Amino acid sequence: MLSFLPAPLLGLIASTLMLLNILFWVPILIAASMIKLLLPFKQVRLWIDPLLLRIAEAWIAGNSGWMRLTQKLDWEVSGVQNLNPRQWYLVVCNHQSWVDILVLQHVLNRRIPLLKFFLKKQLIWVPIMGLAWWALEFPFMRRHSEAYLQQHPEERGKDAATTRAACEKYALVPTSVMNFLEGTRFTPAKQARQKSPYRHLLKPKAGGVTLALEAMGEKFGAVLDVTIVYPDGRPTFTHFLMGRVQRIIVQVKTLPVPQAANPNGLPKEQALRETCQQWVNQLWADKDVRIGQVLIDKNGL
C-alpha cells in the first residue's frame, strides 16, 4: 500500500499506472476487434466477442490492482453474492462523478458480463479510450436538446436507432447494458435547475431503459439497481487518484425485469414507455430515501 505517500505523488503514481494499464490492453483489444471488422460473420462474432470481453475484464482487473496499491479505501458492498456472469443484465445507477465508472467496474467485474455504457458521441474522439470504447461496441449517443431537435427534426430518433442496433448485437453474447438514468452527473446546480423532487438525485429518464427492453427485453434475466454513496462527499477524479476518497458504499439490488401493464389497450410501445417511466420514478423515490438513510447512518446527517 502506497497510501502513506503525499497526495500529489500518490496521484502521479496512480495516473501513471492507470495509463500504463491502458497502453498495454487497448492495442490488444483493437487488434482483436479488427478481426471482427474484416470478417463480419456471425460465427466470427461468436468467437471474437467473448475474447474481447475477457480482454476488457483483464484491463478492469488491472485497474483494481493499481487502486488497491495506491488507495486506502473502506469499501462497503452488498448484494453481489449471487450474481451470474453468464446472464444478461440491465443495470441502472445514480451518477455523481467519473469515479462511479471505476467503482462499478471494480465491484461488478467478472461477477456479471462486461458493462456496456451509453456514451456521448463526442467521447469517441478521446485519445486511445475512444478507440477502446469503439472496439467494445459501446453505443455513442448524440443526445440533442429538444430545442435542437425542433430545428433539426431529421435528427430525432437517431439515438433510438443506435440503441436498438447495439442491443441487437448484445443479444448474441451475455452482456450487461448499463444506464445512468439521470443522464448526467449530479450537482446541486443541476438539481435546482431541474427542480428535482429528490434530495440526493436528479430526475431519472426512462428512454434508455425502454429502448433496451424493446430491443432485448426477453434476454434480460434481471435488473440490477446499483446505489453508490460517497459518505465524505462527491469526489472529483483527481481527488480519487490522490487518495482523498476514504469511504465508498455500493448497494446492489436484484429486481425483476419490468413488464408492460396495458389495461387501456394502448399500442405496445406506448404501454412499455409508460410502464418504464412509472417504474423508474418509483425506483428513484426509493433510492433517494435509501441514500438519505445511509448518510444518516454514516455521518449523522
Residue 254, domain CATH: 3.40.1130
Residue 22 belongs to a domain: no
**Alpha-carbon distance 90 to 282, whole Å?**
17
Number of domains in the chain: 1
- CA atoms within a 13 Å half-sphere pointing along the CA-CB vector of 39: 13
Q: How far apart are CA 249 and CA 172, in angstroms?
A: 33
- Decide if 264 is inside a domain: yes
- pLDDT, position 119: 78
pLDDT at 262: 60
29 in a domain, yes or no? no
Q: What is the pLDDT of residue 207?
A: 84
Is 106 part of a structural domain of the chain?
Answer: yes
In a domain, 50, yes or no: no
Provide block-wise average pLDDT over 10 residues at a time, the chain (301 residues).
Answer: 89 96 95 87 84 94 96 95 94 96 96 88 83 85 54 59 74 88 93 95 90 84 97 94 95 91 66 88 96 86 58
Please give the order of strands across the beta sheet that includes 176-180. 74-78, 247-255, 220-229, 88-93, 176-180, 115-117
pLDDT score recorded for residue 215: 79
Say if 149 falls within a structural domain: yes
pLDDT of residue 59: 96
The answer to whether residue 37 sits within a structural domain is no
pLDDT at 149: 46
What distance lies between CA 107 and its chain's CA centroid? 12
User: Which cell goes with 36?
Assistant: 471482427
> Residue 220: CB partners within 8 Å, gap ≥ 6?
88, 89, 90, 177, 212, 213, 257
At 50, list the grid cell.
467473448
Find where cell 431541474 sits.
194
Segments forming the whole domain that contains residue 251: 73-299
Task: With CA atoms as reference, report the closest residue to 229 among 251, 198, 197.
Answer: 251
Confirm whether 172 is domain-assigned.
yes
State the number of CA atoms in the 13 A half-sphere of 263 facing the CB: 0
